[in-house]
Amino acid sequence: MSRLQEAPHLPIELGRGLLPIDTAVNNRRLILTRWVVGLAVLGGTWFGTYGLDLILPEGVLYTLGILILCYNVPIWFLTRRWEIMSVRTGRACPRVCPLVLVQVALDGLCLTVFVHWTGGITSPALVFFFLHAVMVILLLPGWVAYAYDVIVMIAIGSVTLLELTGILPHYVVLSGLPADLHTDGSFITSRLIFFGAALFGISMVTASVMAPMRQRERLLSAIFHTTSAVSSTLDKNTVLQRLVDNTAEALNVQGITLRLVEPNGYELRLAITHGTDYLKDEVINVNESPAYKRAIKGELVFVERYDFYRYLPFVSPRSGIISVVLVPIIGRRPLGIIVLYATRYLSDTPYLRHFLKAIADEGAIAIENALTHQALQNAEKQREQFVRVFTHELRSPVVGAQSLLRVVIANPNISVERLRDILERLNRRMDNLLSLINDLLALASSKARDFQEQLKPIDMTQMTKSVAQDYLYQCEEKRIRLSVDVNVSPIHIMATTEGLHLIINNLIGNAIKYTPDGGNVWVQLNCDENHHARLTVRDTGIGIPVDALGSLGQEFYRASNARESGIMGTGLGLATVYQHVSHLDGHIKVTSEINKGTTFEIRLPTHAMPVPN
Amino acid sequence: MTKILVVDDDIDMALATRMALEEGGYTVVEARNSLEGLEMLKKEEPDLIVLDVMMETNTAGFQAALTIRNPDPKSEYAAFRNIPIIMLTAIHETTEMKFTPDGEFLPVNAFIDKPIEPTKFLAKVRELIEQKETSN
């Protein structure tokens, strides 16, 4: 085992009421003190007897000192073992607490015996109980300390009573004191009252110092755990669950919910719950609660029971909840709200505010990390899909052509007609390949040139007819009826030849691609009342879901049904169309119905041609 | 006469396959997609199937092969469960289905790389047909 692992570093562990880390550290201190005490009893007895000429019950005191040292050995051994174990497992050992209780009981008993043998109520050793009481508070929660005080008072009272009645012998250690002082009623009463008051006073003062320290350690520990959770995983839900759990334990609240802001910015969707969720609604509207409305703007909001009806209409005043705290999680924008429900009064202290702010900041980091990670993963997935589709699309024409060529080469007796047919097919495949390469280039160049090429008047009528003509064969293959209704007279628009071709080609191509065999595609071109060229491409294809209509202009975007249909596509064609149309100051209108068909309507400003003389 | 079903949505690939097979003396029937292919299988009762992978979906060919090989005795295609299937594909081409040639379960008898090499392709077809006849 390395030195580092052996070092007495204990993992910080949260617990309810008791903090084993606290206990474990003080436990070590207690054991160390006991070595000193054991030796001090032995040394003190010797010095008292021979140095100060006191009349001490030497035998008993030596035995007591040795006894203390003896029972300290197994305790020391056990503690060491548990510490090594807890370093290995990363968790503090919960059995430290019972061990501490056993030690306190043994020490208390020894001290009582020591007090009895050094003079009972008159013993100068009585003050050691104060030291022991402080130790107990450092080690154990407040109520144990008070219980300890009561037990000590009972023990001392009993010893005094037994000595007074002569059941136990009384030992006189300090020769200057009257021999019957232990039977003096007023002495006993005043001594017990002062002793008790001092004992309880010490406990109270120490406890009041310890309690907030423990609370702070709990909060720090919660922040520490949350920070390590944020840095250990990118899974948003895991981090947020730990964040909420740690916060609930640290603050000892009954319920915590974490709701994330929906894209619309005013609705909150339930993401994580701890304990009781006092709000059953999955989604809540921030506008329905003034408290939420303030929190979403970045304000930490404390609401008490009497204000629920005003600020938190969702929370019933009969739910037993006293305090509700709304903690906003703000990143680059509002991300969510953590809501704490407590059945006790949560006071608005600067320390609590700092703590909640730190926790919320960790939450914001976790959420933003997760969102960034998700965006990167999606981009990677899209890229993979893009590469896959293009590999296939680029390979297909070549693979088909090459297969035909090989069959022809292997077959010397092929007829001239067959050969001619094959050559035509090869020619068409090469055309397809070229147009695919052109598409890629168009995309690349339209990006690179940023539409800097000079626009010139182009006859859209001619262009539409020619593009439709190119698709006749494909329509025949798919048994699609392609009807072209184009104005006889030319319609000129300002565009680039490549740009306009790309728009028309993509729209007609898509209509045919996404229309099942035997369907219909209509292409119509005319001028509208505002002298805009209006190109309408209507099909009886698979349609576009309503929620996808707004995203058609995004590169690589493909509607869910298009992806699922298995029809090859890159999500680039329409994106380029949208870019070009907007560059030409045109508009696109899409209407669609799933499995019925889609209509694309494009309007482009016309260019009035000078009349030739 | 030995009958072979070619399922391919690419008409040129289908023609190349048909010509290669006809040159080897086989009768060829064609289907354009996997559903049509499954229909033809029942109707034509071929001796071997040549399947393309990417048709109406990226994995339509695999799905069709799995349908034919379905071990359920009540399956529609139970009679054709042991029919030899050649899958025409570039196996190295990335598909959404992770199949490897030495994977634990393959629904087909052979993979033939595209573009097809008529001599090798015919040799594989003959081998599978002979195997089928001996096993019968």
Condensed to tens digits (0 to 9), the pLDDT of residues B44-72 reads 999 999 999 887 777 788 889 989 988 88
pLDDT at residue number A92? 59
pLDDT at residue number A18? 42
Distance from CA of B101 to the nearest CA of A (A): 19
CA angle A592, A596, A598 (to 5 degrees): 35
Between B135 and A535, whose confidence is greater?
A: A535
Sorting pLDDT into bands at 50, 70 and 90, what band is A21?
low
Element (H, E) at A324: strand A323-330
Is B90 in Cβ contact with A404 (below 8 Å)?
no
**Distance (Å) of CA B111 to CA A320, A392, A403, B84:** 70, 17, 16, 11
The nearest alpha carbon in chain B to A411 belongs to B23
pLDDT at residue number B3? 95
Element (H, E) at A588: strand A587-593
The nearest alpha carbon in chain A to B12 belongs to A400
- How much is the average pLDDT of A399-428? 90
> What's the ipTM?
0.87
Residue A364 and residue A399 in contact, taking contact as beta carbons nearer than 8 Å: no
B117 neighbourhood in chain A, CB within 8 Å: 406
Is B114 in Cβ contact with A399 (below 8 Å)?
yes
A387 neighbourhood in chain B, CB within 8 Å: 94
pLDDT at residue number A564? 64
Query: What is the tens place of the pLDDT at every residue in B58-112?
Result: 778 888 998 998 888 888 898 998 899 998 876 555 444 545 544 445 678 888 8
Distance of CA A596 to the CA centre of its chain: 43
Chain B positions contacting chain A at CB under 8 Å are 10-13, 15-17, 19-20, 23, 54-58, 60, 90, 93-96, 114-119
**A526 touches B: beta carbon within 8 Å:** no
pLDDT at residue number B133? 85
pLDDT at residue number A406? 93
Give the residue among B57, B40, B10 at the shortest CA–CA distance from A478: B10
Is A406 in Cβ contact with B118 (below 8 Å)?
yes
Distance from CA of B103 to the nearest CA of A (A): 21
- How far, in Å, CA of A525 to CA of A602, rounded? 10
Between A587 and A284, whose confidence is greater?
A: A587
A563 neighbourhood in chain B, CB within 8 Å: none
Between A147 and A6, whose confidence is greater?
A: A147
Is B16 in Cβ contact with A565 (below 8 Å)?
no
* Nearest Cβ partner for B94 among A388, A404, A568: A388
- How far, in Å, CA of A552 to CA of A521, rounded? 20
Is B16 in Cβ contact with A410 (below 8 Å)?
no
**A394 touches B: beta carbon within 8 Å:** no
| Paired strand residues for A601 | A536, A589
If contacts are CB pairs under 8 Å, which of residues 271-330 in chain A contact chain B? none
Percent with pLDDT over 70 in chain A: 89
Distance from CA of B119 to the nearest CA of A (A): 8
Distance from CA of B96 to the nearest CA of A (A): 9
Is B23 in Cβ contact with A403 (below 8 Å)?
no
Residue A304 and residue A298 in contact, taking contact as beta carbons nearer than 8 Å: no
Is B11 in Cβ contact with A406 (below 8 Å)?
no
* Nearest Cβ partner for A566 among B11, B58, B94: B58
Distance of CA A455 to the CA centre of its chain: 52
Q: Which of A263-267, A510-514, A608-612 has the highest mean pLDDT?
A: A510-514
Find which of A381, A387, A399, A560 to mutate to test the B interface (most B CBs within 10 Å of its CB).
A399
Amino acid, res. A532: H
Sorting pLDDT into bands at 50, 70 and 90, what band is A332?
confident
Can you read off the two tokens belonging to residue A346? 């949560």
Amino acid, res. A178: P
**Distance (Å) of CA A595 to CA A546, A549, B56:** 12, 15, 16
- Could you tell me the pTM of the whole model? 0.54
Is B13 in Cβ contact with A395 (below 8 Å)?
no
Q: Which of A157-171, A221-235, B53-67, B100-114 has the highest mean pLDDT?
A: A157-171
Is A407 in Cβ contact with B115 (below 8 Å)?
no
Give the residue among B125, B124, B16, B111 at the shortest CA–CA distance from A403: B16
Is B19 in Cβ contact with A391 (below 8 Å)?
no
State yes or no: pLDDT of A196 exceeds 90.
yes
Find which of A406, A407, A433 to mutate to test the B interface (most B CBs within 10 Å of its CB).
A407
Sorting pLDDT into bands at 50, 70 and 90, what band is A351?
confident
Find which of A383, A394, A403 to mutate to test the B interface (most B CBs within 10 Å of its CB).
A403
Which position has the token pair 């006859």?
A459
Is B16 in Cβ contact with A411 (below 8 Å)?
no
**A479 touches B: beta carbon within 8 Å:** no
Give the residue among A312, A332, A336 at the shortest CA–CA distance from A322: A312
The nearest alpha carbon in chain B to A422 belongs to B12
Q: Which of A92-96, A210-214, A336-340, B3-7 has the highest mean pLDDT?
A: B3-7
Q: Which of A260-274, A420-434, A501-515 has the highest mean pLDDT?
A: A501-515
Between A10 and B130, whose confidence is greater?
A: B130
Can you read off the two tokens belonging to residue A73? 């050995």
B115 neighbourhood in chain A, CB within 8 Å: 398-403, 406
| Paired strand residues for A400 | none
Strands A587-593 and A334-342: unpaired
Is A429 in Cβ contact with B118 (below 8 Å)?
no
Residue A212 and residue A352 in contact, taking contact as beta carbons nearer than 8 Å: no
pLDDT at residue number B46? 95
Residue A23 and residue A139 in contact, taking contact as beta carbons nearer than 8 Å: yes
What is the average pLDDT value for chain A, to the nearest integer? 83
Find which of B10, B19, B30 to mutate to test the A interface (most A CBs within 10 Å of its CB).
B19
Q: Find the helix packing angle between A350-410 and A416-449, rounded to 10°.
A: 150
Give the DSSP per-residue string, B3-43. EEEEE-S-HHHHHHHHHHHHHTT-EEEEESSHHHHHHHHHH
State yes or no: pLDDT of A8 exceeds 60.
no
Which 3-state string (H, E, C) describes A215-264?
HHHHHHHHHHHHHHHHHHCCCHHHHHHHHHHHHHHHHCCCEEEEEEECCC
B57 neighbourhood in chain A, CB within 8 Å: 565-566
State yes or no: pLDDT of A124 exceeds 90.
no
A411 neighbourhood in chain B, CB within 8 Å: 19, 23, 118
Percent with pLDDT over 90 in chain A: 30
Phi, psi of A412 (to 5 degrees): -70, -20
State yes or no: pLDDT of A7 exceeds 50.
no
B12 neighbourhood in chain A, CB within 8 Å: 400-401, 403-404, 425, 429
B94 neighbourhood in chain A, CB within 8 Å: 387-388, 391
- How much is the average pLDDT of A538-548? 91
Amino acid, res. B96: E
A449 exposure class (CB count in 10 Å sphere: 0-12, 13-18, 19+): exposed
- How far, in Å, CA of A590 to CA of A600, rounded? 5
* Nearest Cβ partner for A399 among B60, B115, B119: B115
- How far, in Å, CA of A148 to CA of A133, rounded? 8
**A429 touches B: beta carbon within 8 Å:** yes
- How much is the average pLDDT of B10-38? 92
**A411 touches B: beta carbon within 8 Å:** yes
